Amino acid sequence: MTTTEASHGESRAFAADVAKLLHLMVHSVYSDRDVFLRELISNAADACERLRYEAIANPGLVGDDAKPAITLTVDAEANRLTLEDNGIGMSKPELIEALGTIAHSGTKAFMERLDAAQGDSANLIGQFGVGFYSAFMVAEKVDVISRSAGTAEAWQWSSDGKGTFTVTPVELAEAPARGTRVVLHLSEDGKAYTERFKLQRIIKDQSGHVPVPISIKDKPDAEPTEVTDGAALWTKPKSEITAEDYTDFYRSAAGQFDTPALTIHVHAEGRQEYSLLAFVPSAKPFDLSDPERKGRIKLYVKRVFITDDAEIVPRYLRFVRGLVDSADLPLNVSREMIQESPILAAIRKSVTGRILGELEKLAARDDNAYAEVWANFGAVLKEGLCEDFERREALLGLARFKTAASGEGWRSLKDYVGALRENQTAIYYIAGEDAARLAASPHLEGFRARGIEVLLLSDSVDSFWVTLGPDFEGKPFKSVTQGAADLAAIPLLDAATPPVSDTAPAVTDFIAFVKTTLGEEVADVRASDRLTDSAVCLVASEAGLDRQLEKILASAGRLGAAAKPILEVNPRHDLIKRLADLGESDRAFREDVAHLLLDEARILDGDRPGDPHSYAARLGRVIGRGLGGSAG
């Protein structure tokens, strides 16, 4: 960052290449420019809430002006719009830090997404947290004059949005008594935002439930007229709130533009008294895959904002947006007390149970609506199967799966268990990276021949939770790529297919020959009752890791030498029978075939041949033998 010292202040470059970013915003988000007002009002409301919190410990901060307020002042003649709050205000360092760094979520990523949005760019503002900078969509210059509560200094931040900003001292007489004043010098096509009717409509539509009263002054010397009363939506009876009210609040509080898929509004009484207003989005929030996996539930105490950093819900519910307002936590609660509070721990447990309960109710009353929620957030919810053993049963009940037999539809475990085949004692699954590829796996052939459903687990978390020994209604989960399939007791749909026990002696001898030939490359070679169409497949031993989990750990460098797989051979396959009929003739050819069968199984499993050079040489010899006849 470059800094140019001047006698009246400092000129600084933004901590990002913002000229292009702001240019893209102005030209790409044109049809949704109204959002700038919501962002500025949200910032002002946050400042008022922060002041309320700080004033708990230091009442002198509010002085005689204790009532929070946000005021918009219109100056049509000067083509200016001013938004002022009497909140916590900002010092010079805070102005530089808060307004001098663009898009904490990643400027480069923001610009790439915005450039490619093609008409859907409105979502990007809410998703990337550019907030204040949306003002440059309507303003050719922005001045921010702020005085931090309890101080005798005021500072002005100014920028035209073209790459630099200045910070200069301001006389106290020209600054707010406390708080922040944002002055928008509107561009020519931003004049419409000096119309009271337009401003009032935007405020009611997008910020009608901000917990701070909002007023408008038609002229700089006019009396303010209240537009919203600052009544907290979550304190009102549900009978007085419309679906549109909930949606407006969700969009304002969560910074989203979708309509919530589920709204949860609860006034809890009893041992812990609190209000919960939570929303399940209908679109994935941008931070769903945040490595820190933080929840996004804000904590209030008696309508005083405390923090948005408290762990009110477990990390696997981080897609839920909203707030909890507690009447029991002490108002002087500190961050340390929050983390250690038994009251908050009880609220956390209660809130988590209520959210899961509402998801269960949604699943029971509307399959399609719940299927959309699961499609968006199922992979996140399944993290709870690894982390929340207390609620594992509830989470398994909420889980939905694609199966080899269900096509595009979702199946619950209750549906699965209700359709168990005769003598089936386990819930079978196959894990991998792509559901379509899993559905075509040779490992499923024997199960499909018996009408057994197999869960297709294609989320990375799936390979972990199934190894933790869960069961559903007494039925354990079993990988179809691990251990013996144990399918002999389950009748085939086609009774004409001979069982493995009827394998011809020549085929048994050939399988033994393959085992001897492969030697240390495999743990075992055996006849398969899971294959019906393919000649071979690889499986893990009963005591080893599932094949997919082994690959994940190996790629992450958390596994030493991989366990040797077991090669299963289909004794009913025509190729295997014909190879067996060759007997001991042409041993070299049969050895080549044995290695090729192993490499074929590796390829079907999504891997490369063990030694590509040897694989190519063997394949060439086998092809040559076929072209040259039985003489080879």
Question: For the chain, first and last CA: distance in Å?
Answer: 74
Angle between helices 196-207 and 243-254 in degrees, nearest 10:
90
Q: Which residues, in sequence order, are bridge partners of residue 178?
A: none
Phi, psi of 393 (to 5 degrees): -60, -45
Please enumerate in sequence order all residues whose Cβ is within 8 A of that of 490, keeping only pairs 6 or more positions apart, or say none: 421, 422, 423, 424, 450, 452
Please tell me whether 272 is known to bind a ligand: no
Give the Cα separation of 406 and 529 in Å (integer).
Answer: 23
Using DSSP's 3-state secondary structure scheme, residue 611 falls into coil
Give the Cα separation of 478 and 181 in Å (integer).
Answer: 63
CA distances (Å), 294 to each of 32, 125, 260, 298, in order?
29, 20, 20, 12
Q: Which amino acid is at 173?
A: A
Please tell me whether 85 is known to bind a ligand: yes
Pairing of strands 427-431, 475-479: parallel
Please tell me what DSSP assigns to residue 219. Answer: S
Please tell me whether 90 is known to bind a ligand: yes
- By the 8 A CB rule, do 102 and 159 touch? no
Please tell me whether 180 is known to bind a ligand: yes
Please tell me whether 138 is known to bind a ligand: no
Helices (H), 142-295: 196-207, 243-254
Please tell me what DSSP assigns to residue 234. Answer: G
Please tell me whether 605 is known to bind a ligand: no
Q: Which residues, in sequence order, are bridge partners of residue 458?
A: none
What per-residue string of b and e applies to 44-68 under the rule 16 or more CB within 10 Å gives b?
bbbbbbbbbbbbeeeeebbeeeeeb
Residue located via tokens 């053993």? 389
Can you give the length of the chain in residues? 632
CA distances (Å), 425 to each of 264, 419, 466, 474, in order?
38, 12, 16, 9
In 281-380, DSSP assigns E strands to 296-301, 304-307, 321-326
Please tell me whether 365 is known to bind a ligand: no
Residue located via tokens 């000649």? 535
Please tell me whether 131 is known to bind a ligand: yes
Q: Which amino acid is at 335?
A: R
Please tell me whether 129 is known to bind a ligand: yes
Half-sphere CA count of 571, side-chain side, radius 13 A: 21
Tell me the DSSP string of 300-327.
EETTEEEES-S--S-GGGTT-EEEEEES
Please tell me whether 335 is known to bind a ligand: yes
Residues annotated in the binding site for ATP, as ranges? 39, 43, 85, 90, 105-106, 127-132, 180, 335
Residues annotated in the binding site, as ranges? 39, 43, 85, 90, 105-106, 127-132, 180, 335
